[in-house]
Amino acid sequence: MPQSPKSQTTRLILINKVLPWFLVGAVVVYLIWRFLQVYIVNLGGEMEGIGRLLRYFGGILLELLLVWGLALLNFRFIFLRFATADSRFKNWYWAWIGMFALLCFAWLEWRTDYEPEFADENVLSTILLTSFVVAYAYSADYFRTKRAQLALLKDKTMAELNVLKAQIKPHFLFNTMNVLYNSAQKHEDETTAKLIFELSQLLRFSIQEAAEEFTSLENELAFLERYIQFQRLRLPQTNKLDIQIDINKQGEGAKIAPLLMIPFMENAFQYGISLNEACFVHLKLNVEGQNLVLLLRNSIAPNPEARSGLGTGIRNSRERLQLLYPQRHQLRIKESDNTFEVTLKIDL
């Protein structure tokens, strides 16, 4: 009779989780038993010696827990804040490590009553303790980054799958838009025709180029300009709306991750445009060789939705920048009562 899925799951849990730890525990218990057996025989069963042994093991366990706790606190509250790739205070982290080593040495000296014969041991212990704290922080950060990369890879795979699903009949979509475009031209509605045309080009880029890991900088900037043109067409012509775009491109042959800058533009138009109040979107983008500098400022529309914080697109862009351009980018976001500002620098 075949086993039920529930019984199979229980069996897998026992095999993969319980059994390995049972074997490890058995080995540890055996080693401790052998050590105690020899030690107790040598002591002749003296209770005082056994007590000293237990205190000795208790002291070692307490010291290990203390060192582990210090390493964990250093990683959580200091390393992640000051020593990560996008931090501007890396030198302060190493200043803290130097102070930490000094405090450890001072504590060890105090424990040994400042006896000169223990100075070399205290120095060695300080070096080992400080090295463990630093190594723990970098190792934990490495595994944290790997987990983030795996999560991003999973999200990328799901996004590609969704794109493939959307491409089942892309010709039908574009043919339909062509029909709408021709219909708008036939009725001499040039504004609607231009909107349909620009939208079709945006969709074409999103489907074709976004599937690639990198695209040419020329294509990315052309997509950005087309998106801005689409926004200009859909918005009414009014003196209250100030859109200024300055794109200076001199990066021949450069590559960039696709759709990396568009979330910032979407955020500017979504939260910065008001049809009733004076508003603005100012973009200045300069590319020289392999260096890209983007400065984007926009007003914040006076409505609750505009003050709900950063959108998912900007959070995704921040994560993509950290993974694709580690230590090769700077992203600063500044928000005031009525202005939102993004400064992005990338070494392509």
Tell me which of 305 and 78 has the higher pLDDT: 78
Q: Are 285 and 244 in contact (CB under 8 A)?
A: no
In this predicted model, what pLDDT tens digit does every residue of 165-195 receive, in sequence order?
Answer: 555 445 445 555 665 556 666 666 666 767 7
Q: What is the pLDDT of residue 297?
A: 92
Scanning the chain, the segments in alpha helix (DSSP H) are 5-13, 19-43, 47-74, 80-82, 90-111, 119-166, 170-186, 190-208, 217-234, 262-272, 312-324
Q: What is the DSSP annotation of 192-218?
A: HHHHHHHHHHHHHHHHHTTTSS-EEHH
In angstroms, the CA 226 to CA 247 distance is 12
Mean pLDDT of the chain: 76
Q: What is the pLDDT of residue 231?
A: 81
DSSP 3-state assignment of 302? Answer: coil
In this predicted model, what pLDDT tens digit does every residue of 249-271 receive, in sequence order?
Answer: 776 678 888 888 888 888 888 88
Write down the architecture of domain 237-347 according to CATH. 2-Layer Sandwich (3.30)
In this predicted model, what pLDDT tens digit does every residue of 70-85 receive, in sequence order?
Answer: 888 888 888 887 777 5
Q: What is the pLDDT of residue 306?
A: 46
Q: Is the pLDDT of residue 201 over 90?
A: no
Q: Is the pLDDT of residue 315 over 50?
A: yes
Q: Is the pLDDT of residue 318 over 80?
A: yes
pTM of the model: 0.48
Q: Is the pLDDT of residue 334 over 50?
A: yes
DSSP 3-state assignment of 321? Answer: helix
